[in-house]
């Protein structure tokens, strides 16, 4: 799986994680949050983009993203569940990498592209349950900027 960093180009998972840890070690006195969010866009096929945001709270952020093309998914429910599953899969890999690197205490949030306005409101309980049940903090719109802003920017 490869990731794209707007400033560093194409990176492997390990290269991305080493860059994340380097960023954190660059200013260790700051507070950090790791945010994972997935968004998608349906055309002839469905383009899923999963973003990883390293938020240095009060001092900016750095992000990486991974694009994946799938067959066309018409069902909104299926699309939202797949987006959430992609975020959880990557979140688990990141949490595992952090625990092996001595950063197990870093909070990992999963941003879900659902909100109380619009068609996705009926799915909130289920997808938030998936995320919390997997051991991560869950955020929905308007607080889910990892999915609705960062990942969304690269689905076009």
107-143: pLDDT as tens digits: 999 999 999 998 999 999 999 999 999 999 999 999 9
**pTM for the whole thing?**
0.95
Q: What mean pLDDT is predicted for residues 13-21?
A: 97
Q: What domains can you pick out in the chain, each with its CATH number?
A: 2-153 (3.30.420)
Q: How far is CA 152 from CA 46, 103, 105, 111, in A?
A: 13, 28, 28, 12
How large a percentage of the chain has pLDDT more than 70? 100
* Strands of the sheet with 46-56, listed across from one edge: 9-12, 2-5, 61-70, 46-56, 32-42, 108-111, 137-139
126-154 CB burial, b ≥16 within 10 A, e <16: ebbebbeebebebbbbeebbbbbebbbeb
């Amino acid at each position: 799986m490869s990731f794209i960093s707007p400033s560093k180009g194409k990176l492997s998972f390990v290269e991305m994680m080493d860059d994340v840890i380097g960023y954190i070690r660059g200013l260790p006195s700051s507070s950090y949050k790791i945010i994972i969010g997935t968004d998608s866009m349906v055309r002839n096929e469905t383009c899923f983009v999963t973003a990883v945001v390293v938020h240095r709270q009060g001092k900016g952020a750095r992000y990486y993203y991974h694009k994946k093309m799938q067959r066309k998914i018409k069902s909104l429910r299926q699309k939202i569940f797949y987006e959430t599953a992609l975020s959880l899969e990557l979140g688990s890999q990141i949490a595992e990498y952090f625990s092996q690197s001595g950063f197990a205490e870093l909070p990992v949030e999963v941003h879900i592209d659902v909100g109380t306005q619009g068609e996705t409101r009926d799915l909130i309980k289920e997808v938030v349950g998936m995320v919390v049940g997997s051991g991560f903090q869950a955020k929905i719109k308007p607080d889910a900027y990892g999915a609705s802003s960062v990942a969304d920017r690269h689905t076009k």
